[in-house]
Amino acid sequence: MLEDEKQYIKGAKAGNKEAFGALYDHYLPKIYRFIFLKVSSAAEAEDLTHEVFLSAWQNLHRYRYEGFPFSSWLYQIAKNATIDFYRTSKKHIQIENVNEELIKINATYPEKLDTTLELEKLKKIITLLKPDYQDVLIMKFVDDLSHEEIAAALNKSEGAVRLIQHRALKELKSIYDGTITHEA
C-alpha cells in the first residue's frame, strides 16, 4: 500500500493530477503484470492497462474506502477489463494450440528460469489455468498482495482465496512437470 494513499486518493478525487499521477506510478507495474500474464502480447497488455487507469481516473468518485486499499479496486477494474477483452476478441488459448514442448517442461526449471524464454513459457502455462486460479497466483506471488486484499479484489472470502491458491499451485505444478494432460 502506498504511503499517504488516502491523501493521494482524496486529492485525485478533487481533480489533482499529480495525486493521481503518484497512484499511477505506484500501481502501474503491478496492474500491467497482472494483465500481461493473462493476455497474449505486450501490446494488448499496454492497451488494457491504459484503459484500466483511464477508467479509474474518470470514475474515481465511485471509489469508497471500506478498509481495503486502492489496489483492490484497481484489480477489480483490471479483472473486468480482461474478461471484456476475451469476451469481445474471443482470443482464448486452447490447449490444442499450445506447443507440446511447453507442456513437457520438466523439473529442471530452476536452472533455466533466468532466461526470457523460460518466463515466456511460464506465462503461457498460467494462461492455461482457470481465470480464478490465474488471478490468485498473480496477485499473491507476482504482485505480493495479501489474502485479504485478494479477497476484496475478487469478491471472495479469505478462506476461498486460500483454497483457490492451493488448487492453482497444484494444477500449475502438474502442468509444469508434465505429469498430467491438461484439459481446457
Partner 1 sequence: MEQLLTKLKTIEPNKEYQERSRSLILSSPQTTLYPRLAGHFLHALQFSAAFGMAAVIIFLLSGGAESVNRALSPALLSGLDQNSIDQEAQKLEFQLQFSQAEYYANSAEKIEVALKETSDELKNAGNRHEQLNELLQDLTL
Dist CA 54 CA 24 (whole Å): 10
Q: Which of 6, 7, 29, 80 binds partner 1 (CB under 8 A)?
A: 29
Please identify which residue in 83, 113, 117, 163 interacts with partner 1, judged by CB under 8 A. Answer: 113
> Any idea which residue has 500474464 for its cell?
37
Cα 134 from Cα 152, distance rounded (Å): 16
Work out which of 8, 9, 20, 72 binds partner 1, going by CB under 8 A: 20
- Nearer to partner 1 by Cβ, of 90 and 114: the residue is 114
Q: Which of 7, 41, 59, 155 binds partner 1 (CB under 8 A)?
A: 59
- Distance CA(147)–CA(36), nearest Å, equals 21
159 binds partner 1 per the rule CB under 8 A: no
Question: Buried b / exposed e across 117-156, counting CB within 10 Å, b at 16+?
Answer: eeeebbebbbebbeebbbbbbbbbeebebebebbbbbbeb
- The residues of the shown chain that bind partner 1, judged by CB under 8 A, are 15, 17, 20-21, 24-25, 28-29, 32-33, 36-37, 42, 45-46, 49-50, 53-54, 57-61, 109-110, 113-114, 119, 122-123, 137-138, 141-142, 169, 172-173, 176
